Every structure is written in C-alpha cells, then in structure tokens.
A and B are shown apart, each in its own frame.
Chain A
Amino acid sequence: MAQTAEAVRGQSPPAPPPPGPPTPPRPRRRKIPTPYLLIAPALVLLVLVQLGPILQMVWNSLHSYTVRHLLPTAPAPEWNSFAHYATLLSDAEFWMILRNTVVVCALMVGVTMVLGTAVGNLLHRLPRWFSVTVSIGMMLAWATPAISASLVFRWLFLPERGLANVALDRLPDWLVGGGWLDYNWFLEPVPLFTVLILVIVWQSFPFVAVSVLAGLKSIPDELYEAARVDGAGGWRSFWSITFPMLRPLFALLLVLQIIWDLRVFTQLYILANSFQNKSVYLLSYYIYQQGFSASPANYGMGSAIAVVMTVMILAVTAYYLRIMIRQGETR
C-alpha cells in the first residue's frame, strides 16, 4: 500500500482530459442509475445502524433475555412465545403508564406549540434589537443541558426551601390557599407531571418560536396589508394567512415535538428521583427501568416496551412522511 502510494506520488501528474465535448455514452441495455449508486453506501450504513438495532430489539422482545445470557458460557436466550407482550397487555400498570405517556406528551406538545407560535409572532413585531435580545435569552434556555435544567427546576420546587413554595407561601391565602411551604411536588402524578411539563416546555418552545419567526419572515407583508384593508384583526389574519402559509412548517414542528417528547427521560429521572414512585413512570422511563435498572436487568421486557414505543413513533413518522410526499407532489 505504502509502495503504491509512493509510486503514485512519484509519477508526473496525469495528463488533463482532452478538450472538446465529452464522448457521448455508449448506449446500454439497462444501466444502473448513477444516483442510486451514489447513495448506496449511505443506505447500507443506515440499514446497519438503524434497522439492525431495531431488528435486534424486536428479536430481544420475543425471547427470555436477561443478564445471565450475556456471559460467554451462557445459554442462548430462549424463545418465549410472546410472553412479554402478554404480560404487558394484562398489566394494569402498563396501561396506566401508556395513558399517562399519551396525556403528558399531548400536553407538552400542545403548550410548546401554542407558546412557541405566540412568541414567534411577538418576535416578528418587536423592534429588531429587542427581538434579538429576547431570542438570545430563549436560545440560552434551549441550549441548557437537560440535566442542569431539571436540577434547577427540582430545586425551585423543593419543599421547605424551593423558591416556588416560598413564593406561594407568601402570597395571600385567599388567592392560593395556605400551607404551601412544605408542599411536596414530587410525590403525586399531577403535580410532578406539571413540573415536568414546565421544564420540557421551557426548554423546547424557543425552537418553535425561532422556527415560526423564520417562517413569518418568508410571508410577504402585502398579504397582511390586504387583510388589514379588508378589516381583519390579528386573530383572523393568523388563521387566514399565517397558518395556511406555514402549514407545512407547523406539521414538521408538531411531528418533531411529538417524537422528542415521547422520549423524555432525563428530566423525569431527576424530578422523580430514581425509580421508587411507580405512579409517575412514563413509557421511556419504564423501558429503562425494566431493561437496565431492574435486577436482574430484563432485556426482553425492556425491548418489548421499546417496541410499543417504536410503533407509536413510527405511526407519527408515517403521518409526517405522508405530508412531505404530498408537498412534493404539489410542487
């Protein structure tokens, strides 16, 4: 190899191709389309890194597969005839977790989209310097690592010393009720999920806001002027101009948010303080608990729950792809 390289280096530079029009390709019976050839390596790589693990996950979910199957001398995992799925379907806890996941995810996505769109509109109207300042502030929230953000929110809501409890306690009782100082936000599902949604929304609305701002900049002002002349208010012009014009953008943002929020783990792990409180599990959390934290770690069960979540994400992605393909058709 080194010798070849040496030899090549030693040669005089190759003669430039002869001038003139390139020779026309010889007619072939059926040639392999060059574009496909060019993306083939990427496709192969994608199959290896994406499809491979997914197939492995499905395989795991159909076998009894725990830590002891990892040892070099261990027996192969045994086929268990869908036992993990049967257990899941008959497990009330699983259904509760699935329901909580859907509800919490819907709330996160809904609040993020509404707030993000509102702030995006606001940014569009603000003077430039002000808009830049607000954007920088939001970007900082967006760039904060999930673990730091969750810790800060946990501290904010701690009983006895958290800022939220101290502030609520100082407010008049007729407004918020009394006894807030030692209220524990992290025990019951509703208050804990409330804080969780706060963290997630705080971190993810900037992305929506900035995307919407970029979209708004692409809409010609004349449209709004015309609407104003026709007597449309802000609300009407949003639904008649902004929303239809940005529909593809909203669809994309919606799908991305759903996928991201289904996978929430870190924030919940910090807020719920490990795995002791089963009533606040979400699906992604349950996967990790079964697959890695359980003793012995149950890879089969973890994979089965992961398959359920993958199917949910694939369904959302399929909807997204359909939108993308339709857009392609209309262009």
Chain B
Amino acid sequence: MRSLKTATVTTAVLLAAAACGQGGSGGGTDPSEAPESLTVWVMGTANDPLKEYFDTVEQRYQETYPDTAVEVEFISWPDAQQSINNALAGGDAPDVLEVGNDQVANWAAQGALMDITSHTEEWAAVGEMDQAAVEYGTYEGAQYGIPWFSGVRTLYYRADWLEDIGMEPPTTWDELVEVAKAIEDEKGVPGFAAPTDFTNGIASFIWSNGGEIATMEGDSWEGRLTSPETQEAIEFYAGLTTEEEVSPQSYVGENELVPLADMANGEVGMYIDGGWALTSMEEQAEDPAVLEEIGAAPIPGAEGIAPAFAGGSALTVFATTEHPDFAFELLKVMGDQEGGKGYADAAGYFPAYPEMLDDESYQSDPVTAAAAEQMRNTKFFPTTPNWNAADQDGKILPGAVLDIVRGEDPDEVLRAANEELTEVLNEPVE
C-alpha cells in the first residue's frame, strides 16, 4: 500500500517535471534574443574527438538557436584556479564552465557559480542521473552543478608481463607487493608506482582499510588521519617506497603523470590512473605496441576491491554570464543523455547516467569493464567548500605522505596534518 502510494507520487512528480521541462524551455529563451555566441570552458587539452564533439554540440544548439555560435576553450587542470580567478576579476569569463566535482562547493562559496536550482528542477534528465553525484553538485541546499561525466581510477598493469611470470593482477595489498616484486625481479623495472602527490589514489588505500580522511561530527568536520585504520593505510602506502621498495624514489613528490609516461614506455609494471590516461599514453608512447599489452583491474584494497574516489566533473553556469537562460540551455545540450554520453566517449569517461553503464560498449573492452566494475564501488571527498583549500592548495594529505617517505615520524606527521586538516575544513566560509 505504502509503496504504491510512493510510486504514484513519484510518477506524478516525474510527469510534472517532464511537463515543466518542455514548457519551461520557452520562458525567457526566445531564439530571436539569443546572443551571438556563448563560451564554454572545458578542462584538459583539445584533441580531434573532443573538437568533433563540440561541433556536434554547436549543431544541436543551433537547431533551436540558429544564430548562436558555441565557442570552446580548453583550460588545463593546473591552470583552472588562476583562469577562474581571472575570469572573476573581470577578464573574459565563460558562460558554461566545467569544474571538478569536488570543487563545486568551493567555487559556489566564492560566488563564481550561478544558482541553477530553478532550472534543474524543471529539467527531467536530472532525475535519471546518478543521484549521489547530483547531490555532490549542491552547496547550502542549492544546485550549482550537474554531473557531466564520471570517471574512476583503476589499476593499470602490463598483462603480458603478468602472463610471463604466471601471476594474476593483484586484488589485495599483500598480492600487490608480491606481484610488484616479481615484476621487478623478472623484468628489471619498478613493479608499482606510488607517487606521493596523489590524493585520489591514496584515498583508495585509506578507504579500503576502513579509514576516512575526515568525517562530520555534529556540525563540524573532524580529521581522521590519526585513526588506526587511516594511519595504517598511509604508512603502508608510504612503505611501498621506503620499506618494500617496490616504488622507486623518482615518484616521490610527483603526481600520477610521471608513472603514466613510464607505463606508456614499458618502464613500470603497475600504477593507478583513470580511463582518460590511455589517450595521453598514446601520445607519449614511443612504441604504440606497448599499449596493446596494458590491462586494467579494480584497485586492490587491504582485502578485496578498494573504493575509488568518485571522480568526475560538473557542468555549471558562470556567475557573471549575461545570458543565464541561454547558457543553461547550452548546459542541457551538453549534459543530457546524448551530450553526456558523447563527451564521455570522446574523452574516456563514463556518462553520469547509471543505467548506461550496462551498455555493451563498456562491458566488451576489458579496460573499461574494470572501470565499470570499479564505478560501483566509489566514495566522495568531504563535501565542504574548504576541501580545495585542504587538498589542492594545502596538500595536507600528500604533504604528510611526502614527509613520512622522507623519513619523518609518522605519528608526529599525521598528528600535525590532522590538526591542520580539521582546522582548514572548519574554517568559516565568508
């Protein structure tokens, strides 16, 4: 009885939302008033599939707004912060902007993003997206970003080498060390890469051991870096370089881009990265045949699959746009099922629509199949605008790992880092 009622109500709401979605598009978005052009900022570097994708977006947008050109600018991830700062300072700002899903709250709090709650409420497609990711795009109860794509990191390994030495891809920490040592012995290259500037990867180790980075206690954040589970995981990760010596010194202080280049050139046995890394590897490989031998598996945890950070990006409307309604219409073209899947396919991610994950195209390729499996086991970073200050800027967790690898006392390092983390996460947002 109860479930029937819920179902009826849900259906009614969905119907109403769908009806509104169709009716709503007319309000304030008269094609004759459309601007000459709209600008989209996308993170990353341009390549042919992406350019083709945005040609399609422009064509689809021009079906309704024939006189509007869609201009795309690619911003590299490390430059994102400065570019957005400059845009806020009155430089040329975009209309639609892609931001990392863990940065939505941060930029919303700083006034860079437009509150699009009233628009998303009228847009039926939002109901079909991954609801946890939709929730991750809110700040103080208002919607600022909608998920555009998601992507997880997986363990990349040299399938041919594992076959040679008769081993399976590791599924636990112990196996990870074992396989890595075997690769080093047999193939003469480092078995695994544990770069220290790699929050996304380190988090998987922490989560798989039952640890957390920080948790909400009452109404304030509390760092969890000193909890036994977290500390054990961090020491294990640092120990991959220092005690087990399966990861070389050359990855200390680096991010995952250095092992990426090594993987592409057969100079490392295993490392953790996302599906998008394959495109970069193609550009960096001296011998493309190596790429054929690269396999992927879910990230090994303390015991069994480790949860991965639910990476991905959100589409947002920039606060200073002069055409908010038209900008949101463009966001819809990029973020609906067709636009979302198109981008995910062009860039090596997964669409933000969970039911699409069962699609044959994702299950047939072993690399994406591993990622699709990993997709079902993900977690988010602390949902606070201060997360960026703690991670991107403060480098609290990577800094602590770096210090431990440098030989400092883990107890002391983690106590200090945890204090700093708690303080930064609770700083008032003005």
Q: Chain A interface (Cβ within 8 Å of chain B)?
A: 64, 66-68, 70-74, 158-161, 182-184, 186-188, 273-278, 289, 292-297
List, sorted by A's number, 24 A–B pairs whose CB atoms are closer than 8 Å: A66-B430, A67-B111, A67-B112, A70-B85, A71-B111, A71-B319, A159-B248, A159-B250, A160-B249, A183-B249, A184-B250, A184-B252, A186-B253, A187-B253, A187-B402, A188-B406, A275-B395, A277-B399, A277-B402, A289-B393, A292-B81, A292-B82, A293-B81, A295-B393
Q: Is the CB of A68 within 8 A of B111?
A: yes
**A73: nearest chain-B partner, CB-CB:** B111
User: CB-CB < 8 A to A71: which residues of B?
Assistant: 88, 111, 319-320
B249 lies within 8 A of A295 (CB): no
| Least Cβ–Cβ distance between B226 and chain A, in angstroms | 20
Q: Say yes or no for B232: interface residue by CB 8 A criterion.
A: no
Q: Which residue of A lies closest to B405 (CB)?
A: A187
Q: Does B374 contact A (CB under 8 A)?
A: no
Number of A-B contacts (CB under 8 A): 86
Does chain A have a CB within 8 A of B398?
yes
Interface string of B27-64 (1 = CB under 8 A from A): 00000000000000000000000000000000000000
Whole-angstrom distance between the alpha carbons of A143 and B81 in the complex? 31
Which residues of chain B are near A289, meaning CB under 8 Å? 393
B268 to chain A, nearest CB (A): 11
Interface residues of B in 384-430 (CB under 8 A from A): 388-389, 392-393, 395, 398-399, 402, 405-406, 430
A293: chain B residues at CB < 8 Å are 81-82, 393
User: CB distance B250 to A182 under 8 Å?
Assistant: yes
Complex contacts, A68 vs chain B, CB 8 Å: 109-111, 430
Contact partner of A184 (CB less than 8 A), chosen from B106, B249, B398, is B249
B89 at the interface (CB under 8 A from A): yes
Q: A72-B320, A294-B389, A297-B81 are in contact. Are A273 and B250 (CB under 8 A)?
A: no
Q: Could you tell me the distance in whole angstroms from the C-beta of A94 to the nearest C-beta in chain B?
A: 15
B298 to chain A, nearest CB (A): 28
* Among candidates B109, B248, B393, residue contacting A182 with C-beta atoms closer than 8 Å: B248
A61 to chain B, nearest CB (A): 18
Query: Nearest 7 pairs between A and B by C-beta?
Result: A295-B388, A182-B249, A276-B395, A159-B249, A159-B250, A295-B393, A70-B88
Q: Is B256 an interface residue (CB 8 A)?
A: no
Closest chain-B Cβ to A154's Cβ sits at a distance in Å of 11
Give, as a whole number of angstroms, the nearest-CB distance from A290 to chain B.
9
Contact A276 B249 (CB under 8 A): no
B254 on the interface (CB 8 Å rule)?
yes
Chain B neighbourhood of A188, CB < 8 A = 406
Residue of A nearest to B251 (CB): A159
Q: Tell me whether B389 and A295 are in contact (CB under 8 A).
A: yes
Q: A187's contact among B88, B388, B406, B430, by CB below 8 Å, is which?
A: B406
Are A296 and B402 in contact, with the CB atoms below 8 A? no
Known pairs A158-B250, A182-B250, A293-B82. 18 more at Cβ < 8 A?
A70-B88, A72-B90, A72-B320, A73-B111, A74-B111, A160-B249, A160-B250, A161-B250, A182-B249, A184-B253, A276-B197, A276-B398, A276-B399, A289-B393, A292-B81, A292-B82, A293-B393, A295-B106
Complex CA gap A238/B373 in Å reads 76
State how many angstroms separate the Cβ of A242 from the closest Cβ of chain B: 45
Distance in angstroms from A272 CB to nearest chain B CB is 8
Residues of B near A277 (CB, < 8 A) are 253, 399, 402
Residues of A within 8 A of B320 (CB): 71-72
Residues of B within 8 A of A70 (CB): 85, 88-90
Chain B residues whose CB sits within 8 angstroms of the CB of A187 once the complex forms: 252-253, 402, 405-406
Q: How far is the CA of A68 from the CA of B205 in the complex (A)?
A: 35
Task: Provide the bound-state CA to CA distance between A275 and B90, in Å.
Answer: 26
- Which residues of A have CB within 8 Å of B406? 187-188
**Interface contact B253-A273, CB-CB below 8 Å:** yes
Residues of A within 8 A of B109 (CB): 68
List, in ascending order, chain A residues with CB within 8 A of B254's CB: 273
Residue pair B253, A276 in contact (C-beta under 8 Å): yes
Which residues of chain B are within 8 angstroms of A161 by Cβ–Cβ distance?
Answer: 250
Segment 235-284 of B: residues with Cβ below 8 Å from A: 248-250, 252-254
Cα distance, A300 to B392, chains bound together (Å): 20
Contact A296 B389 (CB under 8 A): yes
Residue on A nearest B103 in the bound complex, by CB? A295
Query: B348 → chain A, closest Cβ, in Å?
Result: 24
Set of chain A residues within 8 Å of B319, measured between Cβ atoms: 71
Could you tell me the distance between the alpha carbons of A302 and B405 in the complex, rounded to whole angstroms? 30
- Report how far A294 CA is from B389 CA in the complex, Å: 7
Q: Report Cα–Cα, A289/B399, bound state, in Å.
A: 15
> For window 57-101 of chain B, which residues contact chain A by CB distance below 8 Å?
78, 81-82, 85, 88-90
Tell me the nearest residue of chain B to A188, going by C-beta.
B406
Chain B residue with minimal CB distance to A294?
Answer: B393
User: Which partner residue on chain B sits nearest A187 by CB separation?
Assistant: B406
- Chain B residues numbered 274-326 whose CB sits less than 8 Å from any CB in chain A: 319-320
Residues of B175-206 contacting chain A, CB below 8 A: 196-197
Q: Given the complex of chains A and B, what is the CA–CA distance between A72 and B90 in angstroms? A: 8
Inside 8 A of B395's CB, which chain A residues have their CB?
Answer: 275-276
Q: Which of A274, A275, A277, A296 has the most CB of B within 10 A?
A: A296
**A-side contacts of B253, CB under 8 Å:** 184, 186-187, 273, 276-277
Residue of A nearest to B386 (CB): A295
CA of A187 to CA of B89, assembled, Å: 35
Q: Which residues of A contact B389 (CB under 8 A)?
A: 294-296
Q: Could you tell me the distance between the alpha carbons of A70 and B90 in the complex, rounded to whole angstroms?
A: 8
Task: Report chain B residues within 8 Å CB of A296.
Answer: 106, 110, 389
Residues of A within 8 A of B405 (CB): 187
